[in-house]
Structures are given as C-alpha cells and as structure tokens.
Amino acid sequence: MDGLKALKERHPHLIEDVRGRGLMVGVEFTDADIGALVVAEMAERGVLTAFGLNNPKVVRLEPP
C-alpha cells in the first residue's frame, strides 16, 4: 500500500485513489482507458487483475 500511495503522490494526473482492506487493493485511475492499459501490461507480466465491479476506472488487486 505504501508503494502504491507513493505512486499516487508522484502521478496525481494518472491515479485518483488507492484503497484497500487486508489483501484486497483497489487503484482508481483518472480515466478508464488508463486502467485498461495497466491491466493489459500486468497480464503481459503474469499478474492477474480485475476491474472494479461497478467502476471501470478501478483495478482490483487481490489474491486468488
């Protein structure tokens, strides 16, 4: 969480919010297209992610 919050501080034009509870983390981007690019890049690197259930700007990071 600390690393993601630091990214938010460095890139406020890209990341709107970082939130989480336990092992579930949500990163809200300023635009849904940015989230889609992040999901695609993470898949290329072998990291599985999911979009938020009701907000396409949110990418969820959670254990299987």
Query: For position 52, what pLDDT does the model report?
Result: 79
The mean predicted confidence, pLDDT, of the chain is 91
- 51-60: long-range contacts (C-beta < 8 A, 24 or more apart)? 52/26, 52/28, 55/28, 56/32, 57/16, 57/28, 57/29, 57/30, 57/31, 57/32, 58/26, 58/27, 58/28, 58/29, 59/26, 59/27, 59/29, 59/35, 60/24, 60/25, 60/26
CATH of domain 2-61: 3.90.1150.10
Q: Where are the domains of the chain?
A: 2-61
11 pLDDT above the threshold of 90:
yes
Q: What is the pLDDT of residues 23-35, one digit of tens each?
A: 899 999 999 999 9
Q: Between 53 and 61, where is the model more confident?
A: 61
Q: What percent of the chain has pLDDT over 70?
A: 100
